[in-house]
Amino acid sequence: MGALHGTLSYKIFYVQGDLPDDWKTSYVEQIQKNSFQPLEPDGEDESSEGWVPIERPLQVEFDLFTFLFDHFINLGLRQDKYSIPAGLLKAHVAEAEREFLAQNNKEKLTKFEQDDIKTIVKERLKEKQLPRMRVFDMSWDLRRGRVRFWSQSNKNCELFQGFFEDTFGLKVLPANPYINALQSGLTAAQEERIKAVEATHFIEGLG
């Protein structure tokens, strides 16, 4: 969260390229295509990610007015993930294996039986719990070509970049001093000088 409430800590990205002429139509379709899909306890996926309307993380249906606010596109990137404690899973699997051996008068399990038992146990445990939900807000200023994404985690930012580029067909560059300089309207000569700048350490190593 964060765009409308909460933390002001966000990452800035610069959008490369121009909006397509039919963006108001095509973006609705693409956002819907990449919308969040709920996890199922009997499914193979342990996590699921996708777009949701900002401040309405349980909704997965879109039209233009669910994400366009004046000249801003605002969305939430929702991520659900099952998180079964390793110790709990191990204990339940061991108990299920003992029961299977006793019921089938066996002394040892095959690899297939071990994998099958573990899968069944995981499904049972997932049915008893809800996945953990996290939502990261995104606000795209269409006029300035800047996106604010409310997470500083490298892993979350990489996930966001992939979803943004797949959805909107435009590249985004994460802000850093070099990119900030290039985006500030430098002349060609100034850009060449920036490229030649070497990193400087302002704090000498101790010892």
pLDDT in tens, 174-190: 975 545 545 555 555 55
**Is 54 part of a structural domain of the chain?**
yes
Out of 54-58, 107-111, 139-143, 202-206, least confident range: 202-206
Q: Token digits for 91?
A: 């204990």
Rounded Cα distance, 94 and 121, in Å: 10
Same domain, 166 and 177: yes
Place 127 in a pLDDT band, splitting at 50, 70 and 90: confident
**Is 202 part of a structural domain of the chain?**
no
Same domain, 137 and 74: yes
Same domain, 162 and 100: no
Average confidence (pLDDT) over 99-114: 88
Domain total in the chain: 2
The pLDDT of residue 203: 56
Burial label for 196, CB within 10 Å (0-12, 13-18, 19+), is: exposed
The pLDDT of residue 105: 86
Residue 118 has pLDDT above 90, yes or no: no
**Which domain does 119 fall in, by range?**
86-127
**Is 200 part of a structural domain of the chain?**
no
Same domain, 33 and 65: yes
pTM comes to 0.71
For a pLDDT cut of 90, what percent of the chain falls above it? 49
The pLDDT of residue 198: 60
Same domain, 103 and 67: no
Q: Using an 8 Å Cβ cutoff, are 55 and 91 in contact? A: no
Q: Using an 8 Å Cβ cutoff, are 50 and 162 in contact? A: no
The pLDDT of residue 89: 80
Out of 33-42, 69-78, 159-168, least confident range: 33-42
Rounded Cα distance, 178 and 191, in Å: 10
User: Which of 102, 127, 152 is at the close of a domain?
Assistant: 127
**Is 62 part of a structural domain of the chain?**
yes
Same domain, 93 and 166: no
Same domain, 107 and 55: no
Same domain, 112 and 160: no
**Is 207 part of a structural domain of the chain?**
no
Average confidence (pLDDT) over 86-90: 85
Ramachandran assignment for 6, one of left (phi > 0), alpha (psi -120 to 50 degrees), beta (any other): left
Out of 16-30, 119-133, 191-205, least confident range: 191-205
Cα distances from 29 to residues 111, 125, 155, 168, in angstroms, run: 44, 36, 26, 10
Amino acid code (one letter) for 191: E
